[in-house]
Structure 1
Amino acid sequence: MRKQIVERLEAGRVRDGRFATAPGSGPSGLFFVQGPCGCQLKIIGFVRPGWEHVSVSTPRRSPNWDEMCLVKDLFWDQEECVIQLHPPRSQYVNNSRYCLHLWRPTRQVIPMPPAAFVGIVGLGPSDAAILFAQISAVS
């Protein structure tokens, strides 16, 4: 499975022009990949001291959850944790209206809240929808 993912990313690597990188250059480079929702994703990957980073953009809107999940899986293993940051407003850098970023620090583990803080562990979306509909009917 991982080999197919790497091949998909490599197939989208820009190999000519100003932003070209050589095949097999790992996660660094400019890539164009067809997203799961029919939109082409422009992805820029960088490895910097202490950080791995990708930016993801589309021509007309910000990337959605499914698109960001695809990109996460293209660049990192399924069990690795990566983050989207919401920095203090005074530190915003906005070079593109429709761009989101994923980050992974390489020198520390990202702290995560317990899964139970996020939702009901083991409950899928369909069952959750039924449960929440029942709760809404009570109020």
Structure 2
Amino acid sequence: MRAKIIEKLEAGRVQYGQFASHPGSGPCGMFVVQGPCGCELRISGLIRPGWEHVAVSTPRRCPNWEEMCFVKDLFWDEEECVMQLHPPHSQYVNNSRYCLHLWRPTHRDIPMPPPGFVGVVGLGPSEAAMWFARMSATAL
């Protein structure tokens, strides 16, 4: 499956112009890929000292959750943890109105809360909605 993902990413590599990179340059370069929601995604991949970084943008809006998950899986394995950051306002850099970023440090693991802190482990969205509705009804 990983080979198909790499092919999809390579097919979208920008090979001409200011942001061109050579085929086979791995995750570094500019890519234009059709996203899972029908929107064209512009993706920039960089490896910097200590960090892997991917920037994702669309022409008219910020990328949504499904698109960011799609891009995450293009650049990293499904069991790797990457993050979006909300830095202090004093450190904001905003060069593009509709761009979000994914980051992964290369020399340490990203700390994660236990899955149970996020929600009820083992329930999908439909089951969770029914469970929460039952809990709300019994609380009244």
Q: Same fold (TM over 0.5)?
A: yes
The residue number in structure 2 matching 1:9 is: 9
Provide the C-alpha distance between the structure 2 equivalents of 1:47 and 1:20, rounded to a whole number of angstroms: 16
SS at 1:32's partner residue? strand
Paired residue type of 1:35 = G
RMSD, matched Cα: 0.8
Displacement, 1:116?
A: 0.6
| Equivalent residues in 2 for 1:38-117, closer than 5 Å | 38-117=38-117
SS at 2:130's partner residue? helix
The residue number in structure 2 matching 1:126 is: 126
Paired residue type of 1:36 = P
SS at 1:81's partner residue? coil
Size of the alignment, in residue pairs? 139
Provide the C-alpha distance between the structure 1 equivalents of 2:40 and 2:133, rounded to a whole number of angstroms: 36
Q: Deviations over 1:30-87 (max 9, x none)?
A: 0000001010000000000000000000011100000000000000000000000000
Q: Is 1:26 matched with 2:59?
A: no
Paired residue type of 2:120 = I
Displacement, 1:136?
A: 2.9
Provide the C-alpha distance between the structure 1 equivalents of 2:4 and 2:118, rounded to a whole number of angstroms: 31
Deviates more, 1:26-35 or 1:128-137: 128-137
List runs of 5+ in structure 2 lacking aligned partners: none
Paired residue type of 1:80 = E
The residue number in structure 1 matching 2:35 is: 35
Displacement, 1:135?
A: 2.4
Provide the C-alpha distance between the structure 1 equivalents of 2:106 and 2:97, rounded to a whole number of angstroms: 28
Paired residue type of 1:67 = E
List runs of 5+ in structure 1 lacking aligned partners: none
TM-score with structure 2 length normalisation?
A: 0.97
- What stretches of structure 1 move > 6 A for 4+ residues in a row? none
Displacement, 1:124?
A: 1.1
Displacement, 1:118?
A: 0.5
